[in-house]
Amino acid sequence: MKTLTKLTVVLGTTALLVITGCATTTNSPAAATDDVAKGREQLIRAFDAAWVRVIASGKQREILDSEPLNNPGLANDYVVRLADCLPLPDLTPYPKNPTGLLKKVLDSGQLRRLAQDVPNTPADSSYYFSGVSDKNFEAMLEEMNNHYGVEISVITVKAQPGRLASTSSLLDDDVDIVSQLNATGGRTQNMRRRTSRRFTCTLNALSQFIHVPEDSQLAGEINSLNDLIDNTDARICAGPLTTQTIKAFLPDHKITTRYISDIAECDERIKAGKADVIVNPLPNLDMAGVPGYKSLPTLIVAGTPLWVALEGVVCDIEPARANGEPECRELNPL
């Protein structure tokens, strides 16, 4: 059984619904039709057009100036602006003659979005980015509403923290989009995300930083990413915005992941002698109220878009192994 929680937001009101049911096959014949493909791509391009206008209008700057809530404006120092979509509205038009998924969203006035129900406190690294992501998305919807003359309400389907079969959720038509849960370069359900779904412009990007206790021997030994790569005995504690990236770049290290209150939990592991360094997307830990660390940039940057289903991909209904995810694959791999 899979359990999804829907939080419906309509004109400022909220309602909570719990939905349970058996997973359905993602091998739908409809996924191969031209109309389905065109509608999905139109939704991606509509989001891209809206995002470009958010940047060009100066709204993105206003959003960064307001975040995080515990220190407004600090987001300007750590949110990376990845320029894979330039703020040129004339170059990025809205789709005309909506069909398929875009038409469904506009006609129904509803957009189903997959998100994760994670704590939102300064002890979580996600806290410093989630507010920016939410406001970016709200600004994009406002742009789309104004252009198409509609009022889109968002139905947020919330999943628990941890690994998430989000590609299946798209293909099973549980949701229309996946929010900024996944970086473009990563893996979900044993497939590269870039080849398993459609994706928008990068809305947020973040760099990874190494935090070494100032009073440790490693403070004199680790002064760069390469130093950490070479020191395979160093035990790393990471959060949900870091773990897949850092495991890929440092495959020989022991890496422990803390999905909830990762900043506080990793700091406790350091103090208990269970970890040696912390890696997360904050440029320093002082901003999270955790002093005593030397912080080093890795210059590794990951970007997060919005995601829409892609044709030619199927996923298993059940995991192949215990505690695993249902795996996905291309029907006709290149």
Percent of the chain clearing pLDDT 90 (strictly above): 81
Predicted confidence (pLDDT) per residue in 301-315, tens digit: 999 999 999 999 999
- Give the predicted TM-score (pTM) of the model: 0.87
171 pLDDT higher than 70:
yes
C-alpha–C-alpha distance, residues 190 and 196, integer Å: 10
Stretch 3-18: mean pLDDT: 34
Predicted confidence (pLDDT) per residue in 67-85, tens digit: 999 999 999 999 999 999 9
Does residue 32 sit in helix, strand or coil? helix
Amino acid 46: pLDDT = 98
Predicted confidence (pLDDT) per residue in 248-283, tens digit: 999 999 999 999 999 999 999 999 999 999 999 999
The answer to whether 290 touches 278, Cβ cutoff 8 Å, is no
Q: How far is CA 17 from CA 6, 11, 273, in A?
A: 5, 17, 43
More confident residue, 211 or 2: 211
Q: Which residue has the tokens 């992501």?
A: 133
Average per-residue pLDDT in the chain? 89
Amino acid 320: pLDDT = 80
Predicted confidence (pLDDT) per residue in 16-31, tens digit: 333 333 344 444 444 4
Predicted confidence (pLDDT) per residue in 133-156, tens digit: 999 999 999 999 999 999 999 999
Query: For the chain, which residues make up each domain, given as ranges?
Result: 2-203+305-330, 206-303
C-alpha–C-alpha distance, residues 238 and 245, integer Å: 10
Amino acid 302: pLDDT = 93
Residue 1: CB atoms within 10 A of its CB come to 6
13 pLDDT higher than 60:
no
The answer to whether 174 touches 4, Cβ cutoff 8 Å, is yes
Residues 6+ apart with CB under 8 A from 57: none
Predicted confidence (pLDDT) per residue in 174-194, tens digit: 999 999 888 999 999 999 999
Amino acid 298: pLDDT = 97
Question: What are 332's two structure tokens?
Answer: 């006709």
Predicted confidence (pLDDT) per residue in 197-231, tens digit: 999 999 999 999 999 999 999 999 999 999 999 99
Stretch 226-241: mean pLDDT: 96
Predicted confidence (pLDDT) per residue in 23-66, tens digit: 444 444 444 578 899 999 999 999 999 999 999 999 999 999 99
C-alpha–C-alpha distance, residues 154 and 7, integer Å: 9
Stretch 237-241: mean pLDDT: 94
Q: What are phi and psi of 274, to 5 degrees?
A: -100, -10
5 pLDDT higher than 90:
no
Task: With CA atoms as reference, report the closest residue to 257 among 116, 162, 126.
Answer: 162
CATH fold for the domain made of 206-303 = D-Maltodextrin-Binding Protein; domain 2 (3.40.190)
